[in-house]
Chain A
C-alpha cells in the first residue's frame, strides 16, 4: 500500500461516559511529510495517532488513506509502523527476532528479512546487539531497536509516539537529528507525537497544535511560532514562555495604544479597530532589546526583581505593573536587582490577544 495522503474528516473519538478525546478533527497529511502532533497531556494527540494505526476505533467521521475509507480496517491489516514511548520490545525474543517479527507476519521471504535487518542494524549501529535480549540493552539501545523494527517494515506511514521521552537530555537531542536524517533517507510520511515544543520545532515540516481534542493551529514551525493563532499556541511554543500583560486598548489622538495601569505602549494603526477591547499583550522574552530612543519609541520599564544566568543566556525577572515578566538580555550585561530598567520593544513582534476568546487580533503580530 503506498499511501499518498491521510485525511481525517470530522473524526470524533468518544469514550463511554462523555469523555471526548478527539473532537471533529479535520486534518490532511500529505505524502512524505514530517508532521508533528504537539500538545499537552490529554489533548488527543496520541489518540489521533492510534486511530491512524487502527489501534483505536473511530466513533464518528471518516479516516481515509488515499481517499479510501479505512475506519473498519483492523490494525494488523494497515501498512503502518510504530515506535512507542516505552519501545514495547518483545521481551522473550532476541533483538534480531524483534525486528524480524513484523516481516515474518507479513510473510516476507527469509533472505529479504535478513538483508533488511542487517542493513538497518548497521545504519543504527546495533549490529553487535542482534543476538541479545531486550533486558540486556540500555534505554538508548532499546530505542534504536524499536526504530529498526519500524524501519525494516518499509511502511507507507511511520508513526512515533513520544519515542524520545524516556531518554536522557543529551541522548534526546542527538536522536532528534538522527530521526530527521531517517526521514530524509526513507522518503516516507512521518507522523510524530510529542509534548516537547523544542522537538516539534526542530523536526517538523508542519506542526499540528492540539488542545482538548481540538486542533488549535496547523502550520510550519515559523508560522506557529511567529504567528500563533491564539493564546494557547503562543504559550505552548517558546521557552521560556511568552509573557502576558492584561489591559485594554485606548486611543490617544487617534493612535491606538495598549494600556495596563500606568503602562502605555503605542500600537500600529491597524490596532485601531480594537479600541475599547480588553486584551492581552504578549511579549516573548527574546523580543526586547537594550536600545531605545526616547519618546515615541516603544519601550517598557520595570524594576529588576531577579537576575537569572542560564549558561549561554541571561534572563531578568522584571516587575512591570502588577506582574513579573521575564526578558532575555545579553550575557555581558550588568543589571542588578532593584535597578530600574527600560528595554526597547519592536511593534512587529508584539502579540495581541482578545482577553475573552484568546484569539490573536490582527495588527498585533508581524
Chain B
C-alpha cells in the first residue's frame, strides 16, 4: 500500500472512529453531565455542556429522599429552579432498584436451571421428542410480547398475583427462556459427542456427564445467557407496566417512567435517576463484552 493510500486509510478510520464515538457517547455523556448539574444550571440557554458548578445533590436526593416527606406545602414552597424539588415518588427509587435486582437475578438463575439440562439433552441425547422440542423453542421465539400481555394479565389477575414480583419473574421466563435455551443448545452441539461417550463409559450418569464434563466447557454460553437474561429482565418495561401497580413490586424502569410524565419534576433529578438505571447493565455489558459475541456466534459460524 502506497504511503498516500495508507494515509488516506488512517485518516478515514480516524474520522469514522471519532464520529462513531460521538454518536454512541454524546447522548450518554449529556445525560451524565446533566445529572451533575443543579436545577438552576440545567435550564441555561444555551446549555452548559460541562457542569460549571457540579453538584452531587441530585444523587443525594435519590438516596435520602425516603427520609424527606414531601407534602403539598413543601411542594409548593420549593422552587424547581433552585434545585430543591424532589418528587414524592423518588422514595420509590431505591426499593425499585431492589425489586429489579431480585427479579433479574431470579430470572437468570431460573434460566440456567431450566436451560442447561435441556440444552444438554437436546444436543447430546437422542430421544423421542427431540425434534419436537427444537421446533417448539423456535416457534415461541417469534411471539411478540404484546400478544402475551392480555392473557397473562387476565390469568395473573385471576390468580390474585397482580402486583407481585412473582408475576414478573414468571412472565420474564417467557421472553428469556427460548433464546437462552437456543444459545445453550448451539453451544453444547459444538462440543464433540465423543466427550459425552467417554464420560459415560468412565462411569458418569447423564447428570454427572453434564455437570462434571460439559459444564466447565460451556462457560462462554453461560455467561451470554446470564448477560442476556439479566439485561432483558432489568430493562423490561411493557410487562412490568401491566403487572405492577404499587411501589412494592415496581421495578426500576417503571419508577423512572413515572418521573418523565410529571412535568414539575426537576430534570436534573430525572437525569440522575437515569444514570443510576444505566449503570448496572452498562457495567455488566462492558465486563462481559467478549462473551456476548462468543456466545452468539458459536452456532452461527459453525453452521
Cβ of A75 < 8 Å from any Cβ of B? yes
Q: Which B residue sits closest to A15, measured CB to CB?
A: B126
- Is A88 a contact of B195 with CB atoms below 8 Å? yes
| Contact (A90, B197) CB under 8 Å given A76-B203, A101-B202 | no
Cβ of A242 < 8 Å from any Cβ of B? no
Q: Within the complex, what minimum Cβ distance (angstroms) separates A68 from chain B?
A: 19
**A-B Cβ contacts below 8 A, count:** 57
For B213, the chain A residues whose CB sits under 8 A away are 90
- Is A92 a contact of B216 with CB atoms below 8 Å? yes
For A53, the chain B residues whose CB sits under 8 A away are 197, 201
For A179, the chain B residues whose CB sits under 8 A away are none
Identify which of A55, A89, A90 contacts B201 (C-beta below 8 A).
A55
- Is B197 a contact of A76 with CB atoms below 8 Å? no
B190-211 contact mask (Cβ, 8 Å, vs A): 1 or 0: 0010110111111111001000
Q: How far is the CA of A346 from the CA of B53 in the complex (A)?
A: 110
Q: Within the complex, what minimum Cβ distance (angstroms) separates B198 from chain A?
A: 4
- Is A86 a contact of B204 with CB atoms below 8 Å? no
Identify which of A90, A102, A149 contacts B195 (C-beta below 8 A).
A90
Q: Within the complex, what minimum Cβ distance (angstroms) separates A339 from chain B?
A: 53
Q: Within the complex, what minimum Cβ distance (angstroms) separates B88 from chain A?
A: 54
Q: Which B residue sits closest to A107, measured CB to CB?
A: B203
- Is A54 a contact of B203 with CB atoms below 8 Å? no
- Is A84 a contact of B194 with CB atoms below 8 Å? yes
- Is A106 a contact of B198 with CB atoms below 8 Å? no
- Is B200 a contact of A92 with CB atoms below 8 Å? no
Chain B contact residues: over half helix, strand or loop, or mixed? helix
- Is B198 a contact of A84 with CB atoms below 8 Å? yes
| Contact (A88, B198) CB under 8 Å given A76-B205, A105-B208 | yes
For B284, the chain A residues whose CB sits under 8 A away are none
Chain A interfacial residues counted at CB < 8 A: 25
For B198, the chain A residues whose CB sits under 8 A away are 82, 84, 88-90, 149
- Is A88 a contact of B192 with CB atoms below 8 Å? yes
Cβ of A91 < 8 Å from any Cβ of B? yes
For B202, the chain A residues whose CB sits under 8 A away are 76, 101-102, 105, 149, 153
For A84, the chain B residues whose CB sits under 8 A away are 194, 197-198
A140-156 contact mask (Cβ, 8 Å, vs B): 1 or 0: 00000000010001000
For A290, the chain B residues whose CB sits under 8 A away are none
Cβ of A325 < 8 Å from any Cβ of B? no
- A residues near B (Cβ < 8 Å) are 50, 53-55, 74-76, 80-82, 84-86, 88-92, 101-102, 105-106, 149, 153, 159
| A to B CB contacts below 8 Å, 26 in the list | A50-B197, A53-B197, A54-B200, A74-B205, A76-B200, A76-B202, A76-B205, A76-B208, A82-B197, A82-B198, A82-B201, A84-B197, A86-B192, A86-B194, A88-B197, A90-B195, A90-B213, A91-B217, A102-B201, A102-B203, A105-B203, A105-B208, A106-B203, A149-B198, A149-B202, A159-B201
